[in-house]
Amino acid sequence: MEALGIAPWLVDACEKLAILDPTQIQKESIPLILQGRDLIGNSQTGSGKTACYCLPILQKLAEDPYGVFALVLLPTRELALQVSDHFAALGAPMGLVHLTITGGVESRSQATQLARRPHVVIATPGRLSEMLETPESDAKKAFKNLRFFVLDEADRLLQSTFEDDMASILDKLPSAATGRQTLLFSATLTDAIEALRDSFRSTRGNEMAVVDCSKDQVMKAPESLQHKYLFVPSRQRLGYLFSVLSNDEATKGVQGIVFVNTCGECQLLCTTLTLLGFQATPLHSLLDMRRRVASLSKFRSAVSDLLVCTDVGSRGLDIPFVGFVINFDMPREAEDYLHRVGRTARAGRQGVAVSFVTERDVPKVHKIEGSLGIRLEPLEVDEDEVVKKLNKVAKAQHKANSILSDSGFVDKVETAKEFREKARKLKDQAANGDAPKSGTSSVPSGKKKNIKSGKTGADGGAAVKKKFKSNSDKKKSGLSEQNVGGKKAKKVNKDSLTFKTGMSKEKKVL
C-alpha cells in the first residue's frame, strides 16, 4: 500500500485489518485520486473499490481536517452502513467523526449530528435529498466546503429510480469549480456513466480519468462455485425448498441465503421457514432500519442460519462464510444471477448455487448459461420425501399468511404497490408533458400517514415521498423546467453535470 502513496499511519491501519496487497483497481486508481484527479473506477464486485476512495479521503483529511470534508452516496441502507464501518475502522487512528444518513432513522437526530460538521457523511439519496429540501434545514451549509463527492455503485445511483433525488442533491452541492473532486465507482460501466463522463468533458473542459479493470474480463462466476438447478412446479416450490434445506448435504446445517423477487414473498417465505423450525431472518426494503440492521447482525454472527432477502442483499454486502445461495425466484438477467451467487464461494471457498426453475423460467436459464459460459447441473431430490412433507409445509404457509395479515404487513405491501403505481403514472405524465388534474391527490386515500412516517418503501419511503411533491414545490427547491431536445428537463446551476439515466433517453441535469 505504501508504494501507492498511502501514508504510513494508514498502511498500519490497513495491516491491522488484513488489507495487505492492493488489488488492481486500487493500484490504478489510488495514485490518481491522490493527485487530485476526478475519476471513474470500474471493477468487479469484491475487488476492493471501497478502499479506493476511503484511503485517499482519509489521507487528505488528515492533512487538513474539517467537516464536511467528504460525501459518499450509496443506493441502499445496508451498503451505507457497511461503508461507514470501513471509514470507522480505517479512520480510528485519526479520530474520524462520520455520520450515516439513511431512511428508517429519526431525521431530526441526523440533522443535529450534521450541524456538528462530521468529517465524512455517508448517505442514501432519498433521505439526504429530503434533508436538503427542508426549508428550515441548515443541511446545505454543511456541504459548502465539500472536498470529495463519491458515487459508489454509480450505475444504480444514475438509474431513473434516483434521478429526482440526485438532481436535488447536486443542486445543493458546490460545483467542481470550487476544487471538489468527483469519484464514481461501479461494477458496470453503463451508458449513464459514459454520458456523465462526456458531459464532464464538455462542461468542465477536462477529462475524468477512467480506470476500467473489467474491460478485459467477461462476466464470470467463481470457479469454486457449483451451479445446480431444480425443475419444479411453481406452486410446489416451498415443499421442494423445505426438502433441500432439510436433507441436502450442501445446505443442511450450513449458513445460506435464499433470494426472492418481492418484499411480500420475502416476508412470507421467512415466516413460513421459521414456523417450520429454521432460524431464518428477512432482509427487504419494507423493513425499517432497526430491523434490517438486526437481520444482518443475526446472520453475520451465525444466530440465524438463513437470510431470506430480495436483491437488496445481492450487491456489495460483504457477508463471509455463506455456504450456499438458493434462487427461489430466478433472476431476470445474467448480471443479477452473478451478483446473487457471488455471495457464496468467496475468497476461493467452496459454494453451491441452487436455482428453482419453473416452466416459465427456462428461457432465463438458457440466457444465463449463454452469457456466463456455465451449465447448471440438475440437483437430485427425494420426490417421495417432498410429497410426504407437502401437507406440513402448506399448513405452515397458511399460518404465516394469517400472521402477516394480522400484523398489518399485507396492508403495508399493498400500500407500497399503490405508491409505486402512482409514482409511475406521475412520471409518465411528466414525460408526456401532461400536468396532473387539479384537485386530485397523488396519494391513495387513507394512506397519507405512511408517507409522513417515512417508513414505507426503500430508503424509508423518502424517495417515494419526494415523488409525490406538487409542482409548486419545484420553486422551493430552485428547480425550473426548460426544453432539451424537445423534452422537459430539470435545470440546476450551470456548473452541474448532465447525464442520461439507463431507463430514459431524456437528458437530465445534475
Three-point CA angle 15, 22, 20, nearest 5°: 20
Query: Quick one: what percent of the chain has pLDDT higher than 90?
Result: 55
Query: What one-character DSSP code corresponds to residue 77?
Result: H
Select the more confidently predicted residue: 195 or 142: 142
Q: What is the pLDDT of residues 449-466, one digit of tens each?
A: 333 333 333 343 343 333
Select the more confidently predicted residue: 92 or 448: 92
**pLDDT band for position 216 (50/70/90)?**
low
Residue whose cell numbers read 454520458: 195
Query: What one-character DSSP code corresponds to residue 346?
Result: G
The residues that bridge with 183 in the sheet, in sequence order, are 39, 150
For residues 329-348, average pLDDT:
88
With a CB cutoff of 8 Å and minimum separation 6, the contacts of 96 are 58, 61, 87, 88, 90, 119, 120
Which is nearest to 208 in space by CA: 42, 61, 50, 64? 42
C-alpha 32/C-alpha 20 separation (Å) is 20
User: Which H or E run contains 4?
Assistant: none
Query: Quick one: what percent of the chain has pLDDT higher than 70?
Result: 82
Weakest mean pLDDT among 247-256, 269-278, 383-392: 247-256
For residues 469-476, average pLDDT:
38
Query: What one-character DSSP code corresponds to residue 287?
Result: S
**pLDDT band for position 446 (50/70/90)?**
very low
C-alpha cell at 93: 487512528
Q: Does residue 117 have a pLDDT over 90?
A: yes
Q: In this structure, which amino acid lies at residue 485?
A: G
pLDDT at 453: 36
Does residue 332 contact residue 294 with C-beta atoms inside 8 Å? no
Q: Report all structural domains of the chain as residue ranges with CATH numbers, in order of start.
A: 2-212 (3.40.50.300), 225-385 (3.40.50.300)
Mean of per-residue pLDDT scores for the chain:
83
pLDDT at 470: 36
For residues 480-487, average pLDDT:
37
C-alpha 416/C-alpha 168 separation (Å) is 23
* Cβ count near 464 (within 10 Å): 23
**pLDDT band for position 329 (50/70/90)?**
very high
* Cβ count near 372 (within 10 Å): 19
Q: What is the pLDDT of residues 230-251, one digit of tens each?
A: 999 999 999 999 999 998 888 8
Which is nearest to 230 in space by CA: 358, 342, 369? 358
Q: What is the pLDDT of residues 123-143, one digit of tens each?
A: 999 999 999 998 878 899 999
Does residue 127 contact residue 102 with C-beta atoms inside 8 Å? yes
* Three-state secondary structure call for residue 212: strand
pLDDT at 206: 72
Q: What is the pLDDT of residues 64-88, one digit of tens each?
A: 999 899 999 999 998 999 999 999 9
Q: What is the pLDDT of residues 286-304, one digit of tens each?
A: 988 889 889 999 998 999 9
